[in-house]
Amino acid sequence: MMIKAVSALAGLFMACSSVATAADPTDTAAYDLLFKQGTLDAIEKGSVLNYSRDVTNTLVPAAAQRDTGTIEMTLAGGTPPEARLQFLQGEKHRALGAFPASVGNPVIMYFVETVVRDMAESAGGSPFYIRNRVKEALISPADITEADGDVTVVIWPFEGDPNAARMNGFGALKLTVIMSEEVPGWYRSLSAEAGEAYGSMMVFEGVAE
C-alpha cells in the first residue's frame, strides 16, 4: 500500500512542478528547496543514507508504535541509477519503493505521504482532500529562513481551511524541513506537528556503505 501511495505522490509532485514553473518564482521557492534535484549526485553508488523516524499519536497509539523505526535510502547502480527506500523495525524489513535517483532524494516524498496517511487514519477525512491541500501548500509562499548553513522551510497546510475545526487537532498541522548542503542527501530533519495529537520526526543519522 505504501509503495503505491508514494508512487502516486511522486506523480502528483511532478504535476506540481510544472505548475510551479509557470507560477511566480517567489511563490515556488519552498517547493524548489523541498524537492531540490541533484541531491544524490555526490552520493557514491551502494551508499545507504539512514534516517530515524519517531512517531507519537494520541489518537491512534498503535500507529505510533507501528511507524517508529529506521528509513534506509540506498543508492543502487544501474541505468538509470535508482534510489530505493525501505523501512526497518527490529527484524522487520519493508520495501517502500524505488525512484530515479536523478529526481533527487525520495525521502521527502515518503515523509509527506506518511503524514497524509497518518492524518487520514487518525483524524478521518478524505486522503485525497488532505493530499491536495498539502500539495497546494507546497507551491504557495512559505516561511523560509537561513542560519549557519541550514535552510528551514515551515508550512501550515490547513491554515484558513474551513474544515480545520473538524480535523481533531490536525487543522494546526505544521510541517518543518531543515536542509543543508553539508548533509548527504540534503535533508537534516523533517517533522510534522499537530498539537498534542500527533508528531512525526525524521532525522538524518549518517551514511553507510
Query: At 208, which amino acid appears?
Result: A
Mean pLDDT for 123-133 is 90
Mean pLDDT of the residues in the chain? 87
Instruction: Supply the range of the domain harboring residue 17.
Output: 2-208
Report residue 209's pLDDT band, with 50, 70 and 90 as the boundaries: low
pLDDT of 208 strictly over 90: no
- The pLDDT tens digits of the residues spanning 60-87 come to 999 999 999 999 999 997 778 899 999 9
Q: At 55, list the grid cell.
A: 512517531
- The pLDDT tens digits of the residues spanning 12-37 come to 444 444 444 434 434 568 899 999 99
Q: Which residues contact 114 (CB under 8 A, 6 or more apart)?
A: 2, 67, 200
> What confidence score (pLDDT) does residue 5 get?
47
Could you give the 3-state DSSP secondary structure of residue 147? strand
> What confidence score (pLDDT) does residue 140 get?
87
Report residue 177's pLDDT band, with 50, 70 and 90 as the boundaries: very high
> What confidence score (pLDDT) does residue 39 get?
95
Instruction: Give percent above pLDDT 90 in the chain.
Output: 73
> What confidence score (pLDDT) does residue 141 get?
87
Mean pLDDT for 29-54 is 93
Strands (E), the chain: 48-57, 69-76, 82-89, 92-100, 143-147, 150-155, 174-180, 187-194, 198-208
Q: At 121, list the grid cell.
A: 487514519
Mean pLDDT for 125-136 is 90
* CB 138 within 8 Å of CB 31: yes
| Integer-rounded Cα radius of gyration of the chain | 16
Phi-psi region of 60 (alpha: psi -120 to 50; beta: other; left: phi over 0): beta
* CB 100 within 8 Å of CB 90: no
> What confidence score (pLDDT) does residue 7 get?
52
Q: How many structural domains is the chain composed of?
A: 1
Instruction: Give percent above pLDDT 70 in the chain.
Output: 86
CA gap 164, 170 in Å, rounded:
7
My answer on whether omega of the bond before 80 falls inside 30° of 0, hence cis, is yes
